[in-house]
Amino acid sequence: MYAGLPKRLALVAGICLVLSTQVLFQPGILENWSLGGVARGWFDYFAEILLCGAAMWAAVESLNPLRGRPLLHRTLALVALVLGSFVGSCVAIVLVQPAGFYPPVSNIAGDSLRWAIFGAIVFMAHEHLLHEMRSRAALDSARIERTALDKQMLEAQLEVLQAQIEPHFLFNTLAHVKRLYEVRRETGDEILTSLRHYLRAALPKMRATGCTVAREVELVQAYLNILRIRFGKRLDYTLDIDEDVRTLPLPPMILMTLVENAIKHGIAPRPDGGSICIRVATRADCLELEVADTGVGFSGNLGSGVGIANIRARLKGLHGERASLALRHNSPRGVIACVRVPLGEAAA
């Protein structure tokens, strides 16, 4: 309540000081008065104005509990300014004016009204500035809340997108295992054992809040090892991972989805299969993920599936235009999928 009291009193005193200097600019003042008389007259005038200003300020301050009702507060404040100015003028006569000097009531009322009008102008200006400051603060607060809501909505959207990727990936993997078990029953136990080991390593990584290149590569490698049982010699893969990028953050399931897409749309449709080369490196200010396959190449629906669409949506949600996913022809055949993520912003 009293935190800003000295500052407000200093402001009132400053305004009164400026107003009191008008007596120093009266014509012929130095011709009719000595410097001492001028100083004394100015001091008395300043004291009179200061008493009026302090009385008006105190009267208005007493109405602060009514600020929740703006119309009533402002109306009573104008009345309080007049009464405060009159009381201040009377006190000034007693304390400042020579003993026995009592000007007519009409003069006191006129001076009081004059200072009350000026006080009302200052009061209304102060109220306007205060209203502007509060409106700006409320707007800033609303913007902060909107930003927080937008962030929460984005996080929820990203969780939904990732939730779409995970079952899509798991169902495909289980479908592969089921097919393997039907075709090569003698290897069923080996397949299920490998799958159990794989899921034990993979599931914690899927729901992890953070991911690194090393963890994502480990997951991809486990996935490809499972698929090798199905494809046999029809599938080969190589990893080209720079050592200095292994600890960098990476949105989870991005690399996995690219590899799964290459298997599904590139390697699986070819009778003789193909190979996949996975490369992760830094270029300029970006982390670059590249998955190149020697599969069937571009087809009508390549790049429009759930996995690719979700990658694009997640990259846009996380990094806007600073991240990208591009698909291009591989030579002599196949497709190269390249994701670029800004360094230092790669975590989901």
Q: How are the residues of the chain apportioned to helix, strand and coil, as percentages rounded to the nearest 5?
A: 70, 10, 20
Higher pLDDT, 176 or 36: 36
Higher pLDDT, 28 or 78: 78
User: What is the pTM for the complete model shown?
Assistant: 0.51
- Inform me whether the pLDDT recorded for 334 exceeds 60: yes
**What does the pLDDT look like over 243-276, one tens digit per residue?**
899 999 888 778 988 998 899 889 989 989 999 9
**What does the pLDDT look like over 299-331, one tens digit per residue?**
655 555 677 888 888 888 778 888 999 999 998
Q: Is the dihedral of CA 23, 29, 30, 32 positive or negative?
A: negative
**What does the pLDDT look like over 47-57, one tens digit per residue?**
888 888 888 88
The reply to whether 207 and 283 lie within a common domain is yes
Higher pLDDT, 148 or 79: 79
- Inform me whether the pLDDT recorded for 226 exceeds 50: yes
Higher pLDDT, 340 or 33: 340
Range of the domain at 212: 184-342
For 90, the token pair is 């009377």
How large is the C-alpha radius of gyration of the chain?
40
**Neighbour tally for 124: CB within 10 Å:** 13
Q: Per the structure, how many domains does the chain have? A: 2
Position 327 scores a pLDDT of 93
Q: How far apart are CA 22 and CA 73, in angstroms?
A: 32
The reply to whether 231 and 100 lie within a common domain is no
The reply to whether 188 and 337 lie within a common domain is yes
Position 264 scores a pLDDT of 87
The reply to whether 218 and 129 lie within a common domain is no
**What does the pLDDT look like over 128-145, one tens digit per residue?**
888 888 888 888 888 887
Position 267 scores a pLDDT of 92
For 296, the token pair is 């069937």
Residue 238 pLDDT class (50, 70, 90 cuts): very high
Position 1 scores a pLDDT of 47
The reply to whether 115 and 256 lie within a common domain is no
- Beta pairing partners, 287: 282, 341
Look over the chain and give the mean of its residue pLDDT values, rounded to a whole number.
Answer: 78
The CATH number given to whatever domain includes residue 205 is 3.30.565.10
- Is 278 within 8 Å of 255 (Cβ atoms)? yes
Would 347 be classed as within a structural domain? no
The reply to whether 69 and 120 lie within a common domain is yes
- Inform me whether the pLDDT recorded for 168 exceeds 60: no
- Inform me whether the pLDDT recorded for 277 exceeds 80: yes
Would 113 be classed as within a structural domain? yes
Average pLDDT over residues 227-241: 87
Position 340 scores a pLDDT of 93
The reply to whether 189 and 338 lie within a common domain is yes
- Inform me whether the pLDDT recorded for 223 exceeds 60: yes
Would 175 be classed as within a structural domain? no
